[in-house]
Amino acid sequence: MIDENGVEHKHKFVHDLPMKKPTATTSFRRRRVVDIAAVTDVVEARKLLASGWEYKTSYPATIANIRYYVLVKRE
């Protein structure tokens, strides 16, 4: 298409427009969960914590109120 000035008209796309990047960039990276463990033994939970796992929660999961410790491993 030719506009009223005789110049070819082109549509602007998002990737053609200049983007203003923030001056203060943060290096925030989300680490995704790669494994989940639910253990009943406190010693086992401590071993997992020592090897890099993160503690999420604990709850009584059975009628006998045996406590389960839920831990996650992130990438």
Domain map (residue ranges) of the chain: 30-74
Is this model's pTM higher than 0.85 or not? no
The reported pLDDT for the residue numbered 68 is: 84
Q: Starting at the edge strand that comes first in sequence, how are the strands of the sheet with 54-60 ordered?
A: 33-39, 67-74, 54-60
DSSP H or E run through 53:
none
Distance of CA 67 to the CA centre of its chain: 28
The reported pLDDT for the residue numbered 46 is: 92
The reported pLDDT for the residue numbered 50 is: 93
The reported pLDDT for the residue numbered 71 is: 86
Residues of the chain falling short of pLDDT 50: none
